[in-house]
Amino acid sequence: MCLAIPARVIELLPDERACVELGGVKKEISLSLLDGVCVGDYVIVHVGFAIGRIDPQEAEQTLATLADMAAVSEDESLLTPPLA
C-alpha cells in the first residue's frame, strides 16, 4: 500500500528542493517532478517527492480526516482488552 499526504511548502531550497510542514514536523522534499511550486502551496508528498499540487481546502479536509482516523485508532486501542 502506498500513502501520499498533503503538506504545505514553507521554504524553497536550491536544487529543486523545498521544506514542507505537516503538523509541526518539517521535512525536506524534492520538487523535481513539479514546476512552479510556491511557498504556501500544498503539495502531495510520496517517498520524499512532491507528486502533485492540492487545493488548500482539500488539503485541510484530508489532514483533518487523517487526524480523526488517528484519534479513533487510539480510542479503540484503549477499549481492546489485553490478551491473556
**pLDDT on residue 1:** 57
* Range(s) of the domain holding residue 64: 5-78
Residue scoring higher pLDDT (28 or 62) = 28
Question: What CATH number is associated with residue 74?
Answer: 2.30.30.140
Q: How many domains does the chain have?
A: 1
Per-residue pLDDT reduced to its tens digit, 10-41: 999 999 999 999 888 999 999 999 999 999 99
What's the pTM? Answer: 0.79
Output the nine-digit C-alpha cell for 45.
508528498
Per the domain annotation, does 34 fall within a domain? yes
Q: Cβ(12)–Cβ(37) under 8 Å?
A: yes
Per the domain annotation, does 44 fall within a domain? yes
Per the domain annotation, does 84 fall within a domain? no
Q: How far apart are CA 15 and CA 44, in angstroms?
A: 19
